Amino acid sequence: MEKEKVLLVIVDYKKKDSWAAEDVGEELAELVQGCRGEVEEKVFCKIDKPTAACLIGSGKVEEIAQMCAEASIDTVVFSEDLKGSQQRNLENIIKVKTIDRTQLILDIFARHATSQEGKMQVELAQLQYLLPRLVGKGIALSRLGGGIGTLGPGETKLEVDRRRIAQRISKLKKELQNVGENRALKRRKRKEKGVPMISLVGYTNAGKSTLLNILTEAGQETRDGLFTTLDPLSRKLVLPNNIKVVLSDTVGFMHKLPLHLIEAFKATLEEVVEADLLLHVLDVSHPRYRNLYDSVLEVLKELGADQKPVITVLNKIDKMEDASWLKELSRTFELPVEVSAKTGENLENCLEMIGRKLSALIVNVDMFIPINRMNLINEAHNEGQVFFVKYYNDLIHIRAALPKKLAGLLRKARVSQKRPKSKD
Ligand SMILES: Nc1nc2c(ncn2[C@@H]2O[C@H](COP(=O)(O)OP(=O)(O)OP(=O)(O)O)[C@@H](O)[C@H]2O)c(=O)[nH]1
Ligand SMILES: [Mg+2]
Catalogue all structural domains in the chain, each as residue range(s) with its CATH number: 4-103 (3.40.50.11060), 110-174 (no CATH), 187-359 (3.40.50.300), 360-413 (no CATH)
State percent of the chain over pLDDT 70: 91
What are the φ and ψ backbone dihedral angles of 306, each rounded to 5 degrees? -80, -10
Residue 333 has pLDDT above 80, yes or no: yes
Tell whether the torsion through CA atoms of 250, 253, 258 and 263 is positive or negative: positive
> How many whole angstroms from 343 Cα to the centroid of ligand 2?
17
Pairing of strands 277-283, 197-202: parallel
- Beta-carbon contacts of residue 143 (< 8 Å; ≥ 6 apart): none
CA of 127 to the centre of ligand 2 (A): 25
Which ligand sits nearest to residue 214's alpha carbon?
A: 1
**Cβ–Cβ under 8 Å, residues 292 and 282:** yes
Is the beta carbon of 207 within 6 A of some atom in ligand 1? Answer: yes
> Which residue(s) pair with 247 in the sheet?
198, 235
pLDDT for residue 132: 83
Q: Could you tell me if the CB of 204 is within 6 A of ligand 1?
A: yes
- 216 CA → ligand 2 middle, Å: 14
pLDDT, position 159 = 55
The preferred substitution site among 203, 204, 210 for testing ligand 1, maximizing ligand atoms within 8 Å of CB, is 210
The two beta strands, 233-238 and 244-249, are antiparallel
Is ligand 1 within 6 A of the CB of residue 129?
Answer: no
Q: Is 76 helix (H, G, I), strand (E, B) or coil?
A: strand
Ligand 1 centroid, distance to 209 Cα (angstroms): 7
In this prediction, residues 30-55 reach a mean pLDDT of 93
The Cα 113–Cα 107 span in angstroms is 10
For ligand 1, pick from 105, 211, 222 the residue to mutate: most ligand atoms within 8 Å of CB: 222
Q: In sequence order, which residues have a C-beta less than 8 Å from that of residue 293 and are 6 or more positions away? A: 203, 280, 282, 312, 333
- The neighbour count for residue 276, using CB atoms within 10 Å, is 19
Q: How remote is the CA of residue 350 from the centroid of ligand 1, in Å? A: 17
213 C-beta closer than 6 A to ligand 1: no
Q: 213 Cβ partners below 8 Å, 6+ apart?
A: 219, 220, 222, 341
Determine how many CB atoms are found less than 10 A away from the CB of residue 266: 17
Query: Could you report the per-residue pLDDT of 58-113, keeping only the tens digit for each?
Result: 999 999 999 999 999 999 999 999 999 999 999 999 999 999 999 999 999 999 99
Please give the number of the atom of ligand 1 that sits closest to the Cα of 340: 31
Is 19 a residue whose pLDDT tops 80?
A: yes
More confident residue, 14 or 208: 208
* CA-nearest residue, atom 30 of ligand 1: 316
Q: What is the dihedral of CA 398, 399, 403, 409, to 10 degrees?
A: 30
Phi, psi (rounded to 5 degrees) for 360: -65, -20
The pLDDT of residue 131 is 86
Q: Kindly provide the b/e burial profile for residues 89-106, where b requires at least 16 CB atoms within 10 angstroms of the residue's own CB.
A: bbbeebebbbbbbbbbbb
The tens digit of pLDDT for each residue in 345-386 reads: 999 999 999 999 998 888 999 999 999 999 999 999 988 889
Confidence grade of residue 138 (pLDDT, cut at 50, 70, 90) = very low
* Residue 301's pLDDT band (cuts 50, 70, 90): very high
CB of 256 sitting under 6 A from ligand 1: no
Give distance in angstroms: CA of 354 to centre of ligand 1.
21
- HSE toward the beta carbon, residue 248, CA cutoff 13 A: 24
| 224 close to ligand 1 (CB < 6 Angstrom) | yes
Strands of 308-384 (E only): list them.
310-315, 336-338, 362-370
d(CA 365, CA 372): 19
Q: Does residue 150's CB lie within 6 angstroms of at least one atom of ligand 1?
A: no
d(CA 324, CA 187): 41
Ligand 1 probe mutation, 31, 204, 205, most atoms within 8 A of CB: 205
Q: How far, in Å, CA of 255 to CA of 65, rounded?
A: 28
